[in-house]
Amino acid sequence: MTPAGGGSASPAGAQTSPGTTGLASLAVLTVAATVIFIIWTATQLYDNAPPSGLGHWVLLAVSVAGAAASVALLRPAAAAVSDGRTARQMQVAGDAVGFRVHRARSRNSALVAMGSCLAAAVVALFVLFLLANNRAVQQTFFAPDMVSRSWLEVTKAFGTNLFIAVVGEVIVLAWGLVVALARLAPGPAGRPIAFLATAYIDAFRAVPAIIVIYLVGFGLPLAGVPVLSAMSPTWAAIFALALVYGAYVAEVYRAGIQSIHPSQMAAARSLGLSYSATMQSVIVPQAIRRVVPPLLNDFIGLQKDTSLVTVIGTVDAFTQAKIYSSNYFNLSSVTVVAALFIVITIPQTRFVDRMLARDQSRMQARG
């Protein structure tokens, strides 16, 4: 690299910079290697296709599409080369600004090309991993016949997961707020209540959910507690998850309530509103707006933890899938469960991201 000499006669950045063409060439080499690798992977994939039927045509289509798409990697590489060439011409012509602009574009395109190659290569490697050992991996996790045999029953059983999740979330929404308000109970009279709430929160954030589910699901019937012991496994699961997530959500609410500036409390109280009226009309409504994103995060956790109810014999999607997997020594039915969780979770995470981004921009707008 050239030193940035203050007294240099030529404009800054106009010196030869060997890195520029180097990067473009490297991009071209990487793209060439990646395209060859992908085309080879595509042929492997097609070799593994069944000789006829739908599978044959699907795999053929995927192979051809993959190979064709890999050619798109050539575009940024070509751009890197052409901008690099333009940059050199401008350098020769003494146009320092033009040189800088095109050098930057060339570098950018080269980096885009190489980044895309990395992503494409990882996908190709995954395909090869599935094909490895005579398609053993694909057969174990993604066997089409196992998927088609099990998906209907598994998806039906997933209704139990959704039921537990939705009912649990509704309960947790109210219960968590009750616990949070108890933890913040004011004055000397509130102290024992606050202590109790704190003890509950500490305990249930410490104990793993699977153990709470186990204790509730098996323990309550054993102990013969009236009403509670008569609960079905599904309701025991809801009860257990509400206990665990009530503790988490209470802390989320508490953080939200405490984030409301004390001047809001002062303003409401100065108008003659009681503590509870102030909480109800002024503090909690503002707090809830702030805690929706972290609340949704906890809900996603709760939804995933519905799969733990399998330990007490609730027939959820995972339990159902395990019946297939142990009968056929194949895990594809469990993969179906995983896919179902992905399908319900991704929209929610995107929603949370959007809300967080919106809050962020609103805060910045307010300065």
Partner 1 sequence: MPFLEIRSLHKSYGQVPVLKGIDLTVEQHQVICLIGASGCGKSTLLRCVNALEPINSGEIRLDGEVVSGEGTDVNRLRRDVGIVFQAFNLFPHMTVLDNITLAPRRVRGLDRSEAERRGRELLARVGLDGKASSYPDGLSGGQQQRVAIVRALAMNPRVLLLDEITSALDPELVAEVLDIVRELAAEGLTMLLATHEMSFAREVAHQVCFLHDGVILEQGPPEQIFGAPTQERTRAFLRRIIEAGRL
Interacting residues toward partner 1 by CB under 8 A? 263-264, 266-274, 277, 281-282, 285-286, 289, 366
10 or 276, CB closer to partner 1? 276
Q: How far is the CB of 48 from partner 1 (least distance, A)?
A: 59
Tell me the closest approach of the beta carbon of residue 329 to partner 1, in angstroms: 57
For 52, counting Cβ atoms within 10 Å of its Cβ (0-12 exposed, 13-18 middle, 19+ buried), the class is exposed
Whole-number minimum distance, CB 262 to partner 1, in Å? 10
User: Based on CB atoms, which residue is closest to partner 1, 154 or 283?
Assistant: 283
Least Å distance, CB 366 to partner 1, is: 8
125 or 266: CB nearest partner 1: 266
Amino acid making up residue 184: L
Of 135 and 289, CB closest to partner 1: 289
> Please, which residue, 52 or 263, has the CB nearer to partner 1?
263
Structure tokens at 6: 């203050």
**Cα(190)–Cα(110) distance, rounded to whole angstroms?**
64
Residue whose C-alpha is closest to residue 37's, from 117, 142, 135, 144: 117
**Minimal distance, residue 287 CB to partner 1, in Å:** 10
Q: Give the tokens for residue 349.
A: 């995470």
- How far is 349 from 345, CA to CA, in rounded Å? 6
- 3-state class (DSSP) for residue 20: helix
Please state the closest distance from residue 277 (CB atom) to partner 1, in A: 5
Residue found under tokens 């809001």: 264
Packing angle of the helix pair 332-366, 317-328 (nearest 10 deg) = 150
Closest CA to 220 of 235, 231, 211, 204: 231
Q: Which residues touch 106 (CB under 8 Å, ≥6 apart)?
A: 20, 23, 24, 79, 80, 81, 83, 84, 87
Comparing CB distances to partner 1, the nearer of 75 and 269 is: 269
